Amino acid sequence: MLSGTAAMGSVFAAAALAGCGGNASAASVRDIQFWHLLSGGDGIKMQAMISKANEGNPGFKVHPTVLAWGPPYYTKLAMASAGGRPPQLAIMHASRVPGYAPGGLIDPWDLDLLSEHGVTAQSFAPRIWDKSQNNGKVFSIALDSHPFVMFYNRDVAGKAGLLGGNGQLQEAHSPQEFLAMAREMQKVTQAHGLSFGYLGSGSQMWRLFYTLYKQHGADMELTPGKPMVADNEAAIESLQFMTSLFDDTVAAQSGDISTGIAEFARGGSGMLFSGVWELPTFKKAKLPVDAATIPTLFGTPAAYADSHSFVLPRQLNVDEGKRRDVYKFVSDILKGSLSWAEAGHIPAYQPVVQSQAYRELTPQIHYANAAEIIAYDPEAWFSGSGSDWQTYFAETVQNVLLGRDKAADGWDAFVRRTNTLLSRPNPV
Amino acid sequence: MSSLATSHDSEGQAGTLPGLSRKKPINQAGSGRTRSQGSRNNLNGWAFAAPFLAFFLVFLVWPLLYGLYMSLTGKSLTGANDSIIGLANYAEALADADMWHSLGNTLYFTVISTVPLVIVALVMAALLNVGLPAQWLWRVSYFAPYLLASTVVSLFFTWMYNPQLGLINDTLVKIGLPKVAWLNDPGVAMWAIVIATLWWTVGFNFLLYLAAMQNIPAQHYEAASLDGAGAWRQFFSITLPQLAPTSVMIVLLQILASLKIFDQVYQMTAGGPGGATRPVVQYIFESGFTGYRLGYSAAISYIFFGLIVAVSVLQFFITRRRSA
Q: Lowest mean pLDDT of A18-27, A97-106, A218-227, A255-264, name the range.
A: A18-27
Q: What is the mean pLDDT of chain B?
A: 85
Three-state DSSP at B132 gives coil
A233: number of Cβ within 10 Å: 12
- Enumerate the residues of chain A whose CB falls inside 8 A of the CB of residue B290: 71, 74-75, 387-388
Interhelix angle B244-259/B189-214, nearest 10 degrees: 150
Q: Is the pLDDT of residue B18 over 80?
A: no
pLDDT on residue A69: 86
Helix or strand (DSSP H, E) at B154: helix B150-161
Banded pLDDT at A290 (limits 50, 70, 90): very high
Contact call for residues A237 and A216 (beta carbons, < 8 A): yes
Cα atoms in the 13 Å half-sphere on the side-chain side of A17: 9
Give the Cα separation of B269 and B157 in Å (integer).
Answer: 11
Residue A72 CB neighbours (<10 A): 14
CB contact under 8 A, A388 and B80: no
Q: Give the whole-angstrom CA distance, residue A344 versus residue B69.
A: 49
Contact B206, B143 (CB under 8 A): yes
pLDDT at B161: 92
Residues in chain A: 428
Closest-approach residue (CA) in chain A for B74: A427
Higher pLDDT, A27 or A230: A230
Question: In this complex, do B271 and A394 lie within 8 Å of one another by their Cβ atoms?
Answer: no
pLDDT at B6 over 50: no
Instruction: Spell B201-238 as b/e; 16+ CB within 10 A means b.
Output: bbbbbbbbbbebbeeeeeeebeebeeeebeeeeebeeb
Stated pTM of the model? 0.82
Tell me the mean pLDDT in the region A45-71: 93
Highest mean pLDDT pick, A23-27, B140-144, B320-324? B140-144
The DSSP element (H or E) to which A292 belongs, if any, is strand A289-293
The pLDDT value recorded for residue B84 is: 87
pLDDT digits (tens, 9 = 90+) for A225-252: 999 999 999 999 999 999 999 999 999 9
ipTM: 0.77
**From the list B80, B184, B274, which residue is nearest A428 (CB)?**
B80
Calculate the CA dihedral of residues B220, B222, B226, B231 and round it to 10 degrees: 80
B55 pLDDT more than 60: yes
Would you call B273 and A394 a contact, using CB atoms and an 8 Å cutoff? yes
Residues recorded for chain B: 324
Q: Which of A232-236, A366-370, B81-85 has the lowest mean pLDDT?
A: B81-85
- φ/ψ (deg, to 5) at B25: -70, 135
Which of A70, A64, A60 lies closest to A47, judged by CA? A64
Q: Is there a contact between A290 and A151 (Cβ–Cβ < 8 Å)?
A: yes
- Residue ranges of alpha helices (H) inside A35-101 are 40-56, 71-83
- Summarize the confidence of residues B198-207 as an average pLDDT: 95
Map residue A145 onto helix, strand or coil: strand
Question: pLDDT band at A27, cuts 50/70/90?
Answer: low
Quick one: pLDDT at residue A264?
94
Which residue of B lies nearest to A252 if distances are taken between CA atoms?
Answer: B164
CA distance B221 to B225: 6
**Crossing angle of helices B189-214/B135-143, nearest 10°?**
140
pLDDT at B243 over 50: yes
Query: Above 70 in pLDDT, residue A291?
Result: yes
C-alpha dist (Å) from residue A262 to A170, A272, B76, B205: 24, 10, 41, 40
pLDDT tens column, A321-359? 999 999 999 999 999 999 999 999 999 999 999 999 999
Distance, in Å, from the CA atom of B68 to the CA atom of B62, rounded to the nearest integer, reads 10
Give pLDDT tens digits for B161-189.
Answer: 988 778 999 999 999 998 888 888 888 99
**pLDDT at residue A187 greater than cutoff 60:** yes
Name the residue among B77, B163, B291 with its Cβ closest to that of A82. Answer: B77
Higher confidence at residue B135 or residue B212?
A: B212
Which of chain B's residues have a Cβ under 8 Å away from the Cβ of A402?
181, 184
Task: For residue range B96-109, list pLDDT tens digits in order.
Answer: 989 999 999 999 99
